Every structure is written in structure tokens, then in C-alpha cells.
Amino acid sequence: MENREAELKEKITNLKEKRKAIILAHNYQLGEVQDIADFVGDSLELSQKAAKTGAEVIVFCGVLFMAETASILCPDKIVLLPDRHAGCPLADMITAKQLKEKKREHPKATVVCYINSSAAVKAASDICCTSANAVRLVEKLAGAEEIIFVPDQYLGNYASARSGRKMILWPGFCPTHIRIQPQDIARQKAERPQAKVVVHPECRPEVIALADEVLSTGGMCRFARETEAKEIIIGTEIGIIHRLKKENPEKRFTPVSEQAICPYMKLITLEKILWSLKNMANPVKVAAGTRLRAKAAVDRMLETG
């Protein structure tokens, strides 16, 4: 490890203790950020962890909607996002106003919102979901007359195909996952015919059709540990490769596309974590009214999931 990195890590560890803080990091974070975190996981695992922590401060190494979810679940804790520009373009593809207009067109519909959405959109939804539980949660809505699914059309389409449930889909998408093309998989498969192909459900249906497994990032980490396969082709943001290699040094992981990089996830660095802890900078707090309504949708997911 470089001196600079070791020094920063030591300072962060000391300050973290002083502040009674926990560092949560998403699987797409830079390797050095994952390595300093107390817990690394997918969106569902991170929200479960946030809900249970006894820490006073949560340093959220991820993007804004994740820090907002932590604030929704833990109103008494200070949630810090080390770079306030770390947003999610998919989450920004629908506003609460647009969702309310859609609900007026379909007044009897149940609204399922992907966790990649703002607190205000969650507050206008009935139930939240993540990529790890979308299919299961939609299956459980058997009694719903109509379902509106926002904002990711591809996750919605996947959940609809798997559950056999027709849904009204919002036309949002993840700009990173749509860079993954079917021809990228074909190329990787031709070079590694024995490899298993695992993709994220935010990918296009043509990509999903070529995969052996469709999993959340947490599901990918579990699959990598449990599979007999020695080679795995990974169709999601490339930050996850760091964790996969670290946990499975005897296996080989190849990203479907080197272009699948989320620039927002990469905004969080060790320097910014230290700065944020030092100055208690960039607190994320969801306003009380919005929080209570959003919490009902998130709680319903956590209870059902």
C-alpha cells in the first residue's frame, strides 16, 4: 500500500472512532474506499445495515439516494455523503410531481418505486424495492389492480417478465448499465466459453437474455462464492470486480464492458471521507413530512422482503 493511502486510512480510522461513526460503502465504490469501509454491500444490504447500526454517524460511500434512504431509516443519526455531487441520473429521471401526474391517470394503481429514486418519489409510492427483491415484491402484489413501476424501465420489464405481472413502466434507465451491449457478451463468451455470465437487472432485455444469472450486486457476490465455475463474466458497474477478486482469489472475473463505469460512484475518495468526517460535511437529512411517508414505503419493503 502506498504511504499516502496508509496515512489517510489511519487518520480516517482514528477519526471514525472519535465520531462514533460507521462507514458504509456500495459495491461500486473505488477499491480503496471499499477497503476502509465497515460494511460493503448492495442497496438492500446497506439499508438493512443502516437501519440496525448503533453508530451515531453514518458515512455513506455511495450516491445521494442511498444516503437519503439511511436518513429516512435513521432520523436521529447524522448521515454524511462525502461528495454532494454524487447523484444518480436514474433516480433523477422522475420527480414527485411527474409521479403524482401518472398516479392521477391511474388512480387505482399501486406504485412500486425502485430504491434508486429521490425521497420525495418514495414518499409518493406505496412500496419500495431493490434489484435484489423486485421480482418477489411484485409477485406479492397479487391483489393490486394495476401497478406503476418507477423509474427504471429495464428492472421493471425484468420484474414484469419474471412475475408474469403486466405493469405501467416509467421510461427511466441507468446510463451505465445501458452501455453494456449484447455483442460485448458474445465477444467475451467466444473468448471464455466455460465462463458463467452474470448481469444486473438494470441491463437491457437483449443483454439479460444472454445471461446465466440476473442478480443484484449482493447476489453476484454470493453467486461468485458459491458457484463451481472458475470464470465469471460480470455485467454491471466495474467497481464490483475489486470485491469479487478479493473474496475469490482463485477465480477469474472479467467485466462484460470496461465502459460500464458510474462516474458518480467514483466521486467518493479517501480524501473526501476524511474531510467529511473532520468537518461533519455534507449531512443529508430528509425533511420530516417526506421522511415519514417515504419510510412507510421502505418499511413495507423491509417487512415484505
Binding interface with ligand 13P (CB under 6 A): 27, 42-43, 116, 130-132, 174, 202, 216-217
Alpha-carbon distance of 69 to 197, in angstroms, equals: 31
Please, what is the minimum distance in Å from the beta carbon of residue 109 to ligand 13P? 24
Please, what is the minimum distance in Å from the beta carbon of residue 94 to ligand 13P? 15
Please, what is the minimum distance in Å from the beta carbon of residue 221 to ligand 13P? 10
Compute CA distances 225 → 111, 184, 216, 228, 303, whole Å.
35, 24, 14, 9, 27
Alpha-carbon distance of 167 to 50, in angstroms, equals: 30
Q: Which is nearer to ligand 13P, 8 or 236 (CB)?
A: 236
Please, what is the minimum distance in Å from the beta carbon of residue 68 to ligand 13P? 13
Phi, psi of 257 (to 5 degrees): -140, 130
Strand partners, 255: 234
Q: Concatenated DSSP letters for 11-69? A: HHHHHHHHHTEEEEEETTS-HHHHHH-SEEE-HHHHHHHHHH---SEEEEES-HHHHHH
CA angle 232, 208, 132 (to 5 degrees): 80
Q: Are 144 and 168 in contact (CB under 8 A)?
A: no
Please, what is the minimum distance in Å from the beta carbon of residue 65 to ligand 13P? 8
Q: Which is nearer to ligand 13P, 82 or 235 (CB)?
A: 235
Q: Are 122 and 95 in contact (CB under 8 A)?
A: no
Q: Which is nearer to ligand 13P, 144 or 268 (CB)?
A: 268
Q: Are 111 and 99 in contact (CB under 8 A)?
A: yes
Q: Which is nearer to ligand 13P, 144 or 154 (CB)?
A: 154
Q: DSSP class of residue 179? A: G
Alpha-carbon distance of 148 to 170, in angstroms, equals: 8
Please, what is the minimum distance in Å from the beta carbon of residue 155 to ligand 13P? 9
Please, what is the minimum distance in Å from the beta carbon of residue 1 to ligand 13P? 26
Please, what is the minimum distance in Å from the beta carbon of residue 69 to ligand 13P? 11
Helix H or strand E segment including 252 = strand 252-255
Q: Which is nearer to ligand 13P, 58 or 115 (CB)?
A: 115
State the burial class of residue 245 (Cβ atoms within 10 Å of its Cβ: 0-12, 13-18, 19+): middle
Q: Which is nearer to ligand 13P, 64 or 80 (CB)?
A: 64
Q: Which is nearer to ligand 13P, 135 or 277 (CB)?
A: 135
Q: Which is nearer to ligand 13P, 78 or 232 (CB)?
A: 232
